[in-house]
Amino acid sequence: MSTATRRSPLTDWTVLVPVAALAALVLSWGRDLPGVLVGLVALCLAGAVLAAVHHAEVVAHRVGEPFGSLVLAVAVTVIEVALIVTLMAGGGDKTASLARDTVFAAVMITCNGIVGLSLLVGALRNRVAVFNAEGSGAALATVATLATLSLVLPTFTTSKPGPEFSSAQLTFAAVASLALYGLFIAVQTVRHRDYFLPVATANTPDGEDGHADPPTARAALTSLGLLLVALVAVVGNAKAVSPTIEKGVADAGLPQAVVGVIIALLVLLPETLAAVRAARRDRVQTSLNLGYGSAIASIGLTIPAIALASVWLKGPLLLGLGPTHMVLLTLTVVVGALTLVPGRATLLQGGVHLVLLAAYLFLAVSP
């Protein structure tokens, strides 16, 4: 079998799983599901997420890097935003902090989990992971600015009580987030595209990873259609299983914020796998593009979507982080900056980021 055939086939599972997940959505919509059926719907949801990212990778391979990382980041973020809005629409006051919890979870998972794993894998392969400091540093600066404007400032504003924005402040945060996201995309894909391309090393493999023929336009368009089907299935099936997730969290006596962590882990797992695969191929820059790009998209697209949805959503919208999470965010930004400045990283930097992720997950369960 040729390299091109291995890279871009529409294999059976990637076609059947989205269709099966969509069928599960139609059959389960508006019904109270027993435990067994909830498990089957959850499996369809997970399969649809994996299929969505597969088809995003096919489209990404067609358009090239760094557009490929952008396609993956946007696809995953669309899933996340749709899940948040869907859950908030039927959750009332108990989901007031869901957007904040999910977005912050995505930032911590991407900036510490994906980045840490990628650096660890890259350093294990070559002793030192090499990447472009200019592009990665600009991405981290964008993440820090977006996170501060959207998740930190609401804790300190005085127009409304609690960690909330007023309507005018939320509008400003949404417009600023969207503008920064658009500016970053323009820099990444047009103005300074070379800052986000993988750094070639002596160990960079030739062959399927570096020189595979892209899929045909027909295959890419087919994957685009199946990607949309998978996204619709993910959103609908998440709505079907969300009561079970929320009930399980409540029965376990865990904080409500754990629901946001579960959502973020679910939608980011396939992207994490893609980043690790890229790092194993000695393409650490692609992994960092996936990690930081997802964090930027998560905030830059979620906040405007939530601001728009707040027109019809009832109840408060809590966006401000607490002291513990602000400390973790600050430490993540400082450590990330020290990691990226040299353009080279060892096992130590990867381990530090993973410890920060572990601290966040532990404190989410045991605040």
Short-list 244, 233, 231, CA closest to 38 = 244
Model confidence pLDDT, tens digit, residues 306-323: 888 887 777 788 899 999
Who contacts 344 (Cβ-Cβ below 8 Å, separation ≥6)? Answer: 128, 129, 130, 131
Q: Are 302 and 99 in contact (CB under 8 A)?
A: yes
Roughly how many angstroms between the first and final C-alpha of the chain, as a whole number? 52
* Cis bond upstream, residue 215 (ω within 30): no
pLDDT for 206 equals 47
Positive or negative, the CA dihedral 153, 156, 160, 163 is: positive
Q: Are 155 and 311 in contact (CB under 8 A)?
A: no
Residue 341: CB atoms within 10 A of its CB come to 12
Say how far apart CA 159 and CA 356 lie, in whole Å.
33
Residue 2 has pLDDT above 70, yes or no: no
Give the SS3 label for residue 32.
coil
CA dihedral defined by 112, 109, 52, 241, rounded to 10 degrees?
170
pLDDT for 5 equals 43
Give the SS3 label for residue 320.
coil
Model confidence pLDDT, tens digit, residues 74-95: 777 777 777 777 777 766 677 7
Mean per-residue pLDDT for 106-118?
94
Residue 56 has pLDDT above 50, yes or no: yes
For the chain, what percent of residues have pLDDT higher than 90?
A: 34
Model confidence pLDDT, tens digit, residues 118-164: 999 999 988 899 999 999 999 999 999 999 999 999 999 988 887 98
Q: What is the pTM of this model?
A: 0.83
Could you tell me which residues are beta bridge partners of residue 345? 129
Model confidence pLDDT, tens digit, residues 6-33: 444 545 688 888 888 888 888 877 677 7
pLDDT for 1 equals 40
